[in-house]
Amino acid sequence: MARRSNNEGSIYKRADGLWAGAITLPGGKRKVVYGKSRQGVGEALIAALRDVQLGILLPTADARQTLGQFLTHWLEEVVKPNLRPKTYVTYRDVCHLHIIPALGSRRLTKLSPQELITFYHAELEQGFSPRMVGHIHRVLHRSLEDAVRWQLIPRNVCGLVDSPRVSKVEMKALNAEEARRFLEAAQGEPMEALFVLALTTGMRQGELLGLKWADMDMIQGIIHVRRSLARITGKGFVEQEPKTAKGRRTISLTPMATQALQEYRRRQLEARLLAGGEWEDRNLVFCNALGRPMEVTNLIRRHFHPLLKKAGLPRVRFHDLRHSCASLLLSMNAHPKVVQELLGHSTISVTMDTYSHTVPSLQVEAVNGLDKLLRGR
């Protein structure tokens, strides 16, 4: 057997004439390379040793594991037990409808940046939006981060690829005059209280639909946000905890909101008497005629869109009522910290980033006020 050079590992010539070389990986496993010449095998071993030192070459539990096998395991063992049901369904659909059909047969250890770029371009050519492809990229990136932590792969190839650029969607917030028209049009409507709450508290749609009378303190004029309600495919309506600790919060009610809720409560009790034994007592504030959870599509189609039309307003999203609440408060010089706590943002930076469009006008007012102060006016 020929003498080994330094750092080459073990090199030998096989009976069939091929040269082979082996090095021991961290964890005790061995990597073997083959070649037609001793020099070529030696160079391959030196490169492999360099990769080990850089942390690029790591042992795997099963080098034959495919991306599809890994994602299936990751969804059931990591995502499903630890994330919200709606998030799990979203991740599952992204994996099974997009990633696995295109890349599922590829070995996990062999996935390359070029393959991801080709995959993303193919998704765009099929008509999926850059925002959707960006979401696919984020799901894959998150899964491969776990694969790196478990030492199944040496690095996350998603970190070497840029997701498609997404144009920022401009939010549509109602100004003060439009908000007044909206509330005037809502007076006497069946869901008046819901729309008043949406515009005066900034609560999310799911939080409003998950609100229970036990969460209310009408004497103190406060609401405790403890859950959200969402329809999950295959599971029906599911109550979920707030996304963050800040999402679990207490909100003060305006007198307008308190009055609207009191009137709504009175009418709901009448509806309950009419329903008799068919009423399902779930203690929900906003529900259908039988006490059951309200379908979002019915809320939007039967109540929200007709109300916008009645008020002569453009067709904005329900979520834009939340934006309107925050924008109106900031325009009144409400402290951003107060707005953050009202909306349940995890940090104040989220609030400021989301409503940065409101800051310039506030900055002008502040600078003019400083000028007057320094001039002694």
CATH label of the domain that carries residue 308: 1.10.443.10
Phi and psi for 312 in degrees, rounded to 5?
A: 70, 35
268 and 184 fall within a common domain: yes
The domain that holds 107 is classified in CATH as 1.10.150.130
Q: What percent helix, strand, coil does the chain show, rounded to 5? A: 55, 10, 35
The span from the CA of 49 to the CA of 6, in Å, is: 11
Token code pair at residue 291: 């006490």
User: Is position 204 annotated as part of the catalytic site?
Assistant: yes
Side-chain half-sphere exposure of 115, counting CA atoms within 13 A:
16
Whether 279 is covered by a domain: the verdict is yes
Whether 143 is covered by a domain: the verdict is yes
Please give the pLDDT value at position 120: 94
Q: Which amino acid is at 106?
A: R
Whether 171 is covered by a domain: the verdict is no
207 and 270 fall within a common domain: yes
Whether 120 is covered by a domain: the verdict is yes
The span from the CA of 296 to the CA of 211, in Å, is: 14
Phi and psi for 83 in degrees, rounded to 5?
A: -110, 170
User: Is position 345 annotated as part of the catalytic site?
Assistant: yes
For 216, the domain range is: 176-314
User: Is position 319 annotated as part of the catalytic site?
Assistant: yes
Token code pair at residue 316: 């904005």
Please give the pLDDT value at position 7: 41
The span from the CA of 63 to the CA of 24, in Å, is: 16
Please give the pLDDT value at position 1: 44
Catalytic residue among 235, 282, 309, 372: 235
Q: Which amino acid is at 198?
A: A
Token code pair at residue 24: 């021991």
Residues of the chain with pLDDT under 50: 1-8, 58-61
Cross-strand partners of 35? 19
142 and 188 fall within a common domain: no
Please give the pLDDT value at position 16: 82
Q: Cβ distance 116 to 144 under 8 Å? A: no
Of 100, 134, 160, the residue that ends a domain is 160
Token code pair at residue 170: 């401009």
User: Is position 235 annotated as part of the catalytic site?
Assistant: yes
pTM for this predicted structure: 0.68
Please give the pLDDT value at position 8: 44
33 and 102 fall within a common domain: no
263 and 141 fall within a common domain: no
Whether 370 is covered by a domain: the verdict is no
Of 160, 194, 219, the residue that ends a domain is 160
180 and 310 fall within a common domain: yes
Q: Cβ distance 107 to 120 under 8 Å? A: no
29 and 118 fall within a common domain: no
The span from the CA of 46 to the CA of 356, in Å, is: 53
291 and 229 fall within a common domain: yes
Please give the pLDDT value at position 373: 77
Q: Classify residue 233 as exposed, middle or buried by CB count within 10 Å of its CB (0-12, 13-18, 19+).
A: exposed
Catalytic residue among 309, 319, 335, 357: 319
212 and 300 fall within a common domain: yes
Catalytic residue among 98, 135, 137, 204: 204
Number of structural domains, the chain?
3
